[in-house]
Structure 1
């Protein structure tokens, strides 16, 4: 994010891992403007608050006032000050000089009141701010000064950074996955428009799609049986949400029907999940007879079956 580590280098070294569409991730580099880290919080001191008062005088606020205001600031960074107001001018003096009203408060609370994070009246009511003398004069002091602006961090300067070089590149990483002997035999049969299930030698149960081991008996299912290709719908769902196709990454056209088909020769839950022909949505119902529609070019993949269609 700060530009001190190259993203591609992090990916190549394994420090950055990606799952999913790499092409989409590359586009994400253009989503946002440059990140600017937050600046360090300014250090506000009681000394600075009193030191800037003369430059922050509000002429209308001090008009007609002639009095000395004493401040006793306790705790770390505290001290004693006198704000002398006379003839429309303000002088800030160290120490107490015959004040007509004196405010006593901790350094922490004085800074908070100045910054607006602590209400002065609340501090007075709770006893955190104490007043001796003419309370009426003190209420007028709230109009004496313009808003205090905290100083910036010491030595704070905008660091000039070299513009990063951007290289727009789409990575294509071809990948191949082994289907294994069982699923491989099932998919290979699609090239010849055959649907094969394997059979458990112990319970006789068919598995479609086939699995190497019977899910109930936990023994290897080594026998093969051709089923279908026709069958019936057992369960069907109409999808209206445009979820991405897991094989292509593209959003599917909606609505579409995902269904479980009980092919001839199978029974119970020995069903094959696939899609139903989009134009058959209105005719879809449990028990409807279906048949597969094969693609002309078959490569030994589940997509060799384009979809199932209802037999009128």
Structure 2
């Protein structure tokens, strides 16, 4: 027999409900950047979904119409549409959990898959050429070390910004990443080359306290996302590399890791992915590069003589 529930009268509008959703996010101590993201996403969602609609009136048809209206009235790409839809799904699930609306299955729109952009070996050769420390400025040398660090660890930009001197353990060849997307501390092993480079960099860094940030501006202060993005853009252009991007460095790390035949499970851990499927996406869109390896290792070509003889005998 179905359990009886009290039927609650709900006159909350979508706008009112979102304010409650944000309050809940703050009570759960979500990062400020995460809350800011939801607020920015809501401003876009509200262009295609009436803020005054009652939460209790929201249905699967409402969600589907939101997707269609967004696609018809904007030039956003599939990834952006997926992001807005995913955020709306999160908000609606909050409403469902509060029993403000009927529960229904929400299917997100698919994202068009594009090949991962990674640096070529020629570009990497330019970016990883060590500057003359007797002539270059601190910023150029720092940008060189940051580039090498990104390519050696594959960490996210927000993680790199928050690394402190005390997080590096050069005696054990590891670094502790305390600021991660899922708030779970991550320990990453460091290769011999980046260890040597960090030792040298710390001599130039001239830090005074172990709580100082590893990568800093010329005044020893913490860098920001925008300052690092601009710094690496200037650095790349100075090296004759036209395209740049933090994600491109991260993708290059993942690509090199996969094409070297290393463990996908280990890659998942290093990249800080919550599940293996996210890491698997890197492999799925590296098909063109993997195709080259398959061509280089053609088992039928290796045993072509035996293959031909076998076919001849069968005749």
TM class by shorter chain equals under 0.3
More contact order relative to length (CA 8 Å, sep ≥ 6): 2
Q: Which structure features the higher share of strand residues?
A: 1
TM-score with structure 1 length normalisation? 0.23
Q: Which structure features the higher share of helix residues?
A: 2
Structure with max Cα Rg: 1
TM-score with structure 2 length normalisation? 0.23
